Amino acid sequence: MIYFDYLSREQKQRIFYIPPEELDAGKETLAYALGAIIYMPANSMAIQKLIDNEIPGLVSTVLCLEDGVDDREVDFAEENLALQLKTLLFQKEKGGCIPFIFVRVRNVEQFKKLTEKLGPTLSVLSGFVFPKFDTAVGFEYFEHLAELNGQIGKTLYGMPILEGPGVIHLESRAGQLLKIKDLLDRYKDLVLNVRMGATDLSGLYGLRRSPELTVYDIEVIRDFIADLVNVFGRPCDGYVISGPVWEYFSSGFRILKPQLRQTPFREHFGKDGKRLRQDLLCRYIDGLIREVMFDKANGLIGKTVIHPSHILPVQALYTVTHEEYCDARDILDNDGYGGVTKSIYNNKMNESKPHTNWARKIMTLSRIYGVLNERYDYTSIICEENKL
């Protein structure tokens, strides 16, 4: 699987300085390569779209048995999931390409029952998502996951979601985050990334962001993200933190000005660019783009999305610009000896020691999402995708 493989050869040559590499399922790559991970209820017939490859750009998905499924439909959802995974297994055995697939379970009991039921179809999965994760249930989740991997001879990964009151309430947050980290440290090889349930956390306070704002404008969530990054975002620990879900996909009444400038679309693509910009505004993609930019600034990689229209713009934003790549390469070429050099673009200083961790992350992303040609940016990919 390769990012942006739906673009033609000519489009790739025009856009990319270094094209994306083929993805492998190793933890070091996969943790950064989930991109826009779309959630699908496990009782939905939309899973058939995975089988038929009907979702352009899809690289990863979560089939949800938890909040996305009505309590009265859990049994049907489990049966539907098992049936669809069998079809995907058949497709995989025939040499078909399938995305990285994860299953979000409801609780430990369902997790244990489900893994016994799925049998050989577990080979289709890349792992599981563990909701409402805390120290009370976390050990059971990862203990069973480790046992399961030993039984099937394959590594399935776990992705804990932090979304309970213990991690957001001021009086318990630091203690809970540190305890959860201590638990995850014991199973670090199985922890693909750390996720946050921004919707659940906001709901604890009766809050919900509007499509014209980002989750970072909700101050209690912003403070939580800051602490989450403080605990899990240290490069020496090797954790990857994923961005929160974006839940809007259609336009409504606006109060604030749009977040997308006209110039990049108009100057590069003329009337077609203006039409594309307006389409993005009508689907509130400008709010999504702004939130992803905040995610990136805070070191978060990847984004939970709920609609196929979110996939392409999110993944376009994770491409590496030519300027970022040149800066990262120059910083790493210094071999950590220190000192300051002027960037090749003559607009900033590159300071070797403090910028090294950033540069390493950029080089990882460049292999996965590719490096854009000079004077190209994420709007270039979005506009090329729109021509398909």
Report the CATH fold assignment for 22-249+284-317.
Answer: TIM Barrel (3.20.20)
The mean pLDDT value of the chain amounts to 90
Residue 383 confidence class, pLDDT cut points 50, 70, 90: confident
Q: What does the pLDDT read at residue 25?
A: 78
DSSP string, 155-186: --EEEEEE-SHHHHSTTTHHHHHHHHHHHHHH
As a whole number, mean pLDDT of residues 71-95 equals 93
CB 208 within 8 A of CB 248: no
Q: What is the pLDDT of residue 24?
A: 85
Query: In 3D, which of 162, 157, 43 has the Cα closest to residue 100?
Result: 157
Between residues 140 and 67, the one the model is more confident about: 140
Q: Judge whether 328 and 362 are in contact, CB under 8 Å.
A: yes
> Does residue 250 or residue 356 have the better pLDDT?
356
Measure the CA–CA gap between 296 and 293, rounded to whole angstroms: 5
* Sign of the alpha-carbon torsion through 81, 107, 223, 234: negative
pLDDT at 48: 82
Residue 94 has pLDDT above 70, yes or no: yes
- What is residue 206's three-state secondary structure? coil
What average pLDDT does the segment 36-48 reach?
90
Whether residue 263 has pLDDT greater than 80: no
| CA dihedral of 370, 376, 379, 382, whole degrees rounded to 10 | -50
Report the percentage of the chain scoring pLDDT > 90: 68
**What is the per-residue pLDDT for 191?**
98
pLDDT at residue 253 greater than cutoff 70: no
Identify the pLDDT of residue 211.
85
Instruction: Annotate 110-136 with DSSP letters as a single string.
Output: HHHHHHHHHGGGGGG--EEEESS--HH
pLDDT above 80 for 282: no
Q: What is the pLDDT of residue 52?
A: 81
Query: How many whole angstroms separate alpha carbon 55 and alpha carbon 385?
Result: 13
Q: Is the pLDDT of residue 247 over 90?
A: no
Rounded to two decimals, the pTM is 0.91
pLDDT in tens, 118-154: 999 999 999 999 999 999 999 999 999 999 999 999 9
More confident residue, 185 or 248: 185
Q: What is the pLDDT of residues 311-344, one digit of tens each?
A: 999 999 999 999 999 999 999 987 767 788 888 8
Interior angle at CA 84, CA 45 and CA 161, nearest 5:
85
pLDDT at 255 over 70: no
Q: Which residue has the higher pLDDT, 162 or 313?
A: 162
Q: Are 169 and 134 in contact (CB under 8 A)?
A: no
- Domain edges within the chain: 22-249+284-317, 322-386
